């Protein structure tokens, strides 16, 4: 009997990509043994991001690093996702290290593509398939939380962004299909709803936003303990959704709003809806209506034409908004986007200095926030053990996985991953809390 080959996946980019990788693994497990040890794999799937030049570079570097493993167990490299979807014509001939290419909607062709490579073929299956609904997954997150991708694609034509040209138009997954997916996965402490823009969920299917309806339907399920929202666009963050954040006990009081800038001239060039003034009003409203809400955002600096005055406007906005968590990025000039052709491109050194200054501003804000928890008790979900720090690590409600700070804590009792503990905060830094569990279980 032939030995079953081992297959592993490397998922690059965002949490939405992670969901796609988990669906790839569902197909892979039907024929291959899944391994977490890439050096042990006979077949490696690299699910790529192509949003930025840095992401494309990381994807290619990962291919070359994996190709070096052919002297060990590796036999095939399969490249999937955004990079081949957008750039297959540029990379197929030259990227000979890759045995098969699949785009963002070709995942159910994975096994067929792999079979063809073992017959001596080099396979290009990009855009061979149409959008198909794939409900089944092999979770790669810890057992107590996972991501639920509720839509794909994007209709927001931001002038700096390649996503619509890669992922296509905004396409919601029907509510009943999402409910079936959640039931199929089973119990979870936390389900994180993701899409390029969760607030637009349902417009294409139902003629109006249905994110609140979806939240309410998911909240009825016994399998759902908590829900978290990522990527809510400001122009669609409705009063109805704010009320749901305020009143639904299963909806975590946390919202990620990618604002991208605060200077009105720059926002107009970006083709972003809203103004710096309307954004501040929205933030004030959220803080006023939803007690204790945690607000995260992201910003791009160094956009073409961003003057010193525009940048100072952004700095002052960040100081006034006082986000719980915030990320800053230098503008990346992407060929194929309208912004690529704009005049007054900013020097890379200037961009990086502006990013650093924004982070310095946010560090001070974040430190004030974390200091407010000194000598207080917070409820913390344990995500596991940090072996370097020799303690447990987890998250409070204001920490989303991977993108926000953490809570590090010790305990005299046994601690279980996925359980919630009351942690007395004894010290802090700009992003993280440190303390000790004061009882066995918080709930």
pLDDT along the chain (443 residues), means of 10: 86 91 90 93 95 92 95 94 93 95 90 95 88 77 94 93 91 95 90 96 96 98 95 95 98 97 98 96 97 97 97 98 96 94 95 98 96 96 94 96 95 91 96 89 48
Residues 200 and 261 in one domain: yes
Residues 244 and 323 in one domain: yes
Residues 154 and 271 in one domain: yes
Q: Has residue 425 been placed in a domain?
A: yes
CATH number where 50 lies: 3.40.50.12160
356: Cβ contacts below 8 Å, ≥ 6 apart: none
- Which of 100, 116, 138, 117 lies closest to 20 in space, CA to CA? 138
Residues 393 and 418 in one domain: yes
Q: Has residue 313 been placed in a domain?
A: yes
Determine the structural domain holding residue 404 and report its residue range: 377-437
What does the block give as tokens for 167? 């992922």
Last residue of a domain, one of 322, 343, 371: 371
Residues 343 and 418 in one domain: no
Residues 49 and 82 in one domain: yes
Q: Has residue 136 been placed in a domain?
A: no
Residues 400 and 286 in one domain: no
Q: Has residue 88 been placed in a domain?
A: yes
Say how many domains are in the chain: 3
CATH number where 209 lies: 3.80.30.20
Distances (CA, A) of 3 to 6, 31, 33, 42, 118: 9, 11, 10, 11, 15
Q: Which residues of 126-143 are buried (b: 16+ CB within 10 A; e: fewer)?
A: beeeeeeebeebebbbbe
DSSP letter at 271? Answer: T
Q: Has residue 315 been placed in a domain?
A: yes
Residues 363 and 389 in one domain: no
CATH number where 403 lies: 2.40.50.140
User: Measured between alpha carbons, how far is 369 from 375 in angstroms, rounded to an integer?
Assistant: 13
What does the block give as tokens for 88? 């297959």
Residues 66 and 109 in one domain: yes
Q: What is the pLDDT of residue 133?
A: 62
Residues 316 and 168 in one domain: yes
Q: What is the pLDDT of residue 132?
A: 60
Q: Has residue 443 been placed in a domain?
A: no
H/E stretch holding 122: none
Residues 314 and 172 in one domain: yes
Last residue of a domain, one of 89, 124, 159: 124
**190 and 228 Cβ atoms separated by less than 8 Å:** yes
User: Measured between alpha carbons, how far is 30 from 293 in angstroms, rounded to an integer?
Assistant: 43
Q: Where are the beta strands (DSSP E) in 1-75?
A: 6-11, 33-34, 43-48
What does the block give as tokens for 80? 């999937």
Residues 345 and 415 in one domain: no
- With both helix axes pointing from N to C terminus, report the angle between 211-219 and 175-185 in degrees, rounded to the nearest 10: 30
Q: Has residue 353 been placed in a domain?
A: yes
User: Measured between alpha carbons, how far is 63 from 60 in angstroms, rounded to an integer?
Assistant: 5
What does the block give as tokens for 313? 């406007």
Transcribe 137-200 into DSSP letters.
----S-TTEEEEE-EES-----TT--HHHHH-S-EEPPHHHHHHHHHHH--BSEEEEE-S-GGG
Q: Has residue 219 been placed in a domain?
A: yes
**101 and 69 Cβ atoms separated by less than 8 Å:** no
Q: What is the pLDDT of residue 126?
A: 93
């Amino acid at each position: 009997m032939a030995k079953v080959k081992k297959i592993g996946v490397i998922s690059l980019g965002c949490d939405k990509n992670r969901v796609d990788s988990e669906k790839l693994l569902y197909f892979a497990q039907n024929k291959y043994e899944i391994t977490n040890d890439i050096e042990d794999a006979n077949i490696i799937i690299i699910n790529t991001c192509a949003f930025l030049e840095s992401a494309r570079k990381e994807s290619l570097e990962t291919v070359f690093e994996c190709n070096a493993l052919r002297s060990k167990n590796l036999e095939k490299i399969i490249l999937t996702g955004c990079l081949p979807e957008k750039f297959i014509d540029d990379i197929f001939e030259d990227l000979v290290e890759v045995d098969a290419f699949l785009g963002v909607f070709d995942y159910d062709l994975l096994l067929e593509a792999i079979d063809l490579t073992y017959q001596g073929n080099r396979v290009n299956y990009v855009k061979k398939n149409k959008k198909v609904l794939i409900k089944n997954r092999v979770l790669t997150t810890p057992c107590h939380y996972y991501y639920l991708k509720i839509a794909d694609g994007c209709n927001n034509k931001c002038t700096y962004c390649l996503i619509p040209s890669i992922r296509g138009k905004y396409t919601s997954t029907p509510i009943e299909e999402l409910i079936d997916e959640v039931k199929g996965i089973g119990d979870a402490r936390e389900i994180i709803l993701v899409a390029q823009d969760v607030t637009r969920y349902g417009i294409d299917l139902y003629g109006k936003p249905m994110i609140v309806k979806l939240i309410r339907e998911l909240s009825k399920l016994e399998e759902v303990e908590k829900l978290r929202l990522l990527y809510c666009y400001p122009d669609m963050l409705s009063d109805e959704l704010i009320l749901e954040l305020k009143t639904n006990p299963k909806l975590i009081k946390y919202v990620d709003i990618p604002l991208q800038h605060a200077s009105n001239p720059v926002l107009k060039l970006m083709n972003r809806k809203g103004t710096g003034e309307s954004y501040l009003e929205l933030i004030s409203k959220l803080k006023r209506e939803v007690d204790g809400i945690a607000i995260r955002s992201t910003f791009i600096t160094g956009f073409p034409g961003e003057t010193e005055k525009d940048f100072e406007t952004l700095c002052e906005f960040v100081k006034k908004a006082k986000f719980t968590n915030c990320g800053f990025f230098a503008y990346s000039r992407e060929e194929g986007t309208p912004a690529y052709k704009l005049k007054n491109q900013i020097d890379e050194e200037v961009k990086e200095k502006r990013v650093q200054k924004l982070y310095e501003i946010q560090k001070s804000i974040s430190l004030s926030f974390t200091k407010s928890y000194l000598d207080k008790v917070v409820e913390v979900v344990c995500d596991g053990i940090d072996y370097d720090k020799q303690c447990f690590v987890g998250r409070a409600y204001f920490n989303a996985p991977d993108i926000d700070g953490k809570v590090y804590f010790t305990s005299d009792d046994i601690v279980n991953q996925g359980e919630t503990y009351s942690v007395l905060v004894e010290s802090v830094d700009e992003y993280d809390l440190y303390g000790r569990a004061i009882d066995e279980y918080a709930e």
